[in-house]
Structure 1
Amino acid sequence: MPDRVRVGVVRLGLLVLVLLVLVVGVLTGVTPDVAEVQGWVGHAGAAAPLVFVAVCAAGSVVLVPKPLLSIAGGVVFGPVVGACAVVAGVTVGALASFAVARGLGRDAVRPRFERGRFARVDRLLERRGVWAVIALRFLPVVPFGLVNYAAGLSGLRVGAFVVGTAVGVVPATVVYTTTGASLGTMTVAQWLLAGAAVGVPAVAGLVLTRRDRRTAG
């Protein structure tokens, strides 16, 4: 194996290990020391953010919850670089999932989209495009990965899906990466502010979704 490839594999393995540690920490309530984790990733070098983008993309495809990826990005890279890496990674992963669903499933489900509720949703996505995707991304209760595959089955245009995803994931991603970067040091006021930063876009997404459903009839 060439040295360059070997180094890339080691870096990817390191970041996957960090992600696993973070996931276990979040699920068990025991989070690792932020400075220690950042030190681990520092050994991966300047390419670490790009490797993390690839990890986020792959995680999105296999339905790893986006909040976990975002928190990991904040812990590893801080709020700014972490948010940028997560947004780029999950957008790439969303596009990959969309493409798989569009290529393998769209023709199979097309007959179901010709009438009834599915048809109304399909027309809504085609007509509203970017705004419909943004509204869905604003809703924290809607699974990120499932939306990717479902959108691929619909008649939604690829460009609208990508733009809507890249824009719609920003608010929650910024909140989660900032939270990840501040684990163990956040005050009650900061936690409340973080909750509001997620809640406000969620309400906006709910309003947009209801309005679109009424419009679709």
Structure 2
Amino acid sequence: MTDENVKRYCEPEALAEVFGCQIVNLDKIKYFIFDFGGVMVPSSNVLKNLLDLLNTDLKISIHYQDPLYKKLKRRLSAGILSSREFLVLLLDKYYYSKQNSVKQRALPEKKVNIDYYLELWFNMYCRFTHLSPKMEEIVHHLHNSRFRVVLLSNVYDIYAKGNNLRGFYDIFDETFLSNEIGLKKPDIEQYRYVLEKLSADPHECIFVDDKLKNLVP
């Protein structure tokens, strides 16, 4: 193995403390696998902003640390729930249950326009997320170097729709989206699924993610 065939690769500081530096033989690498949010596009707080609007508009209090809320988010990311179903269940818990607990009301129960908030959610995501020009350039360089470039992303269906419509996924040879395959990082089964579909060995892949928990073997 010559120096030209070896790249000394150090993870970001937090990861290096756990794993140290790694020797990567680029002659054996066939696939570069990228996360999307936080890597290809900057991280955003779109969902939190939407829920803040719901809290204000409907005078409710959605608790971000509530176990039910966390469970619904996981199911949304895994494709078990659609974005519409996610909002419906949230409103059942935090809005309609509150309305039903009021024994005497002068006016009928106010119905929430789910379509309005779905459209708002979609438009907010499309407005505030943009593909990183630097990362797009890196992907093109990898293509030119004859590597296969793959996307592996935990994503909600409403975000995947926005990314597809804007052509963000077109730069990848293969895409694996959690909402479509029903598996999400850091579930080891998701990594096995991707390797099987690619007919790849782990040592033939470099995986890039912005979350430490998703990089731990």
TM-score between both structures, scaled by the size of structure 1 = 0.27
> Which fold has the larger relative contact order, with Cα–Cα distance below 8 Å and residues 6 or more apart in sequence?
2
Q: Which has the larger radius of gyration?
A: 2
Higher helix share: 1
